[in-house]
Amino acid sequence: MLATSGLNNFGDTFRPLLKNHHKGFSLIEMAIVLIIITLVVGGALVPLGAQIEQRKRAQTQKTLDEIKEALIGYALSRGVLPCPSNVTGGIPDGNANCTVTTGVATGYIPWVSLGVNNQDAWGNLIRYAVDTQFTTTFTLQTTGSITIATHNPDGSTPAISSNIPAVVLSLGKNSYGAMSAGGVLQFTPTAFSTNDPDEYQNQKNSSSLFFSHTPAPPGTATTIGGEFDDIVTWISPNILYNRMVAAGKLP
């Protein structure tokens, strides 16, 4: 009996401590859960703007890819690439207007002629440049004059694609040199010609050189291209020739 009584007393003595220990452990668990929830929610909220921007870039890239397919479809049906839509009366009319017959014709995508979306995710008109050799009947020997270059950290600007027939591009979120769907020029070229040479190059008229590389934030050194958020895609001459031959449009 004495031994049993002693055990009972021992249990009575330590039971409150065990209860307190159990309560303390639960509070610690709750604190850990709250910390985890805070980190998860905080992590989701902080980059929300970045997530929205990524979606807009992806949406614009999809639009550019659809336009590229429409351009190839136009060539398959008519044997030529369309001319750009040019500004008449303050805003492009969306039709292919062949006002330039030599070199590279630059302007906006002829959305009426192609039946495609004419805007990027920021509400600006999508630009288009085409070697005029491809706006008239061309052959397998016709060589495009447009070059796509990148800008390396060492300042070099190697070509990543050459002999290109046509380029389609969005001037990105910063809209440098872009025209809104309402016909408003967002930034005049002089506003960014010095600090952001790559973006300046991409919006120049009759240009045969375009830059395409990863985005660069404001303040990026001019020696490596300056700020950059343009989205650029182009028609590969080999893909164009292949599709034309397969459709019986080229020998």
> 26-44, pLDDT tens digit by residue?
777 777 888 887 766 665 5
Write down the pLDDT at residue 10: 45
The mean predicted confidence, pLDDT, of the chain is: 89
Write down the pLDDT at residue 30: 76
Structure tokens at 205: 């008229």
Nearest to 174 by CA among 198, 158, 154, 150: 198
For 55, phi then psi, to 5°, come to: -65, -40
Instruction: Locate the domains of the chain by residue range.
Output: 46-247
Burial (CB < 10 A; 0-12, 13-18, 19+), residue 64, is buried
CA distance 17 to 82: 85
DSSP 209: E
Write down the pLDDT at residue 17: 47
DSSP 193: T
CA distance 202 to 225: 11
Q: Which stretch of 46-55, 77-86, 92-101, 232-241 has the lowest confidence by average pLDDT?
A: 46-55
Please, are residues 219 and 196 in contact by the beta-carbon 8 Å criterion? no
Comparing 206 with 7, the larger pLDDT belongs to 206
pLDDT of 7 above 70: no
Give 136-152 pLDDT, tens digit per residue: 999 999 999 999 999 99
pLDDT of 2 above 50: no
Write down the pLDDT at residue 86: 83
Write down the pLDDT at residue 47: 78
Please, are residues 164 and 144 in contact by the beta-carbon 8 Å criterion? yes
Q: For the whole model, what pTM was predicted?
A: 0.81
Percent of the chain whose pLDDT exceeds 90:
70
Please, are residues 206 and 106 in contact by the beta-carbon 8 Å criterion? yes
Give 169-227 pLDDT, tens digit per residue: 999 999 999 999 999 999 988 889 899 999 999 999 999 999 999 999 999 999 999 99
